[in-house]
Amino acid sequence: MYARRRRNYFLMMGGCIVLFVSAWAVVRLWSMPAAIAMCVVAMVIPPVAAMVANRRGPEDRWWDDPSGDPTSDEWWDELDGKKRR
């Protein structure tokens, strides 16, 4: 799960760099508004990439860690429908 999120993050950030560099190296020679639009899109990608990289998936069970209080852990296990072993 972490490898998938990391790969998605690097793909998005790579796309950001490609957009930015190609906008000012190539596209600006033909259309300045298109180059500016590409930079605006590239500006939005990093925050979205950070949200994608830090998002918890349904398989991430971080809330299942025991709290240390046996009574509380039994209560939460009962609510989740799990049997303690």
- With a cut of 80, say whether residue 57 has pLDDT above it: no
- With a cut of 70, say whether residue 24 has pLDDT above it: yes
Q: CA 3 → CA 41, 46, 54, 66, 84, distances in Å?
A: 25, 18, 12, 25, 30
End-to-end CA distance of the chain: 26
> How many other CB atoms are there within 10 angstroms of residue 24's CB atom?
14
**Residue 40: per-residue pLDDT:** 96
The whole domain housing 16 covers 1-84
Which pLDDT band, with edges at 50, 70 and 90, does 60 fall under?
low
Which pLDDT band, with edges at 50, 70 and 90, does 18 fall under?
very high
Q: How many domains does the chain have?
A: 1
Which pLDDT band, with edges at 50, 70 and 90, does 85 fall under?
low
Higher pLDDT, 41 or 78: 41
| pTM for the predicted model, two decimal places | 0.64
Are the C-beta atoms of residues 74 and 84 closer than 8 Å to each other? yes
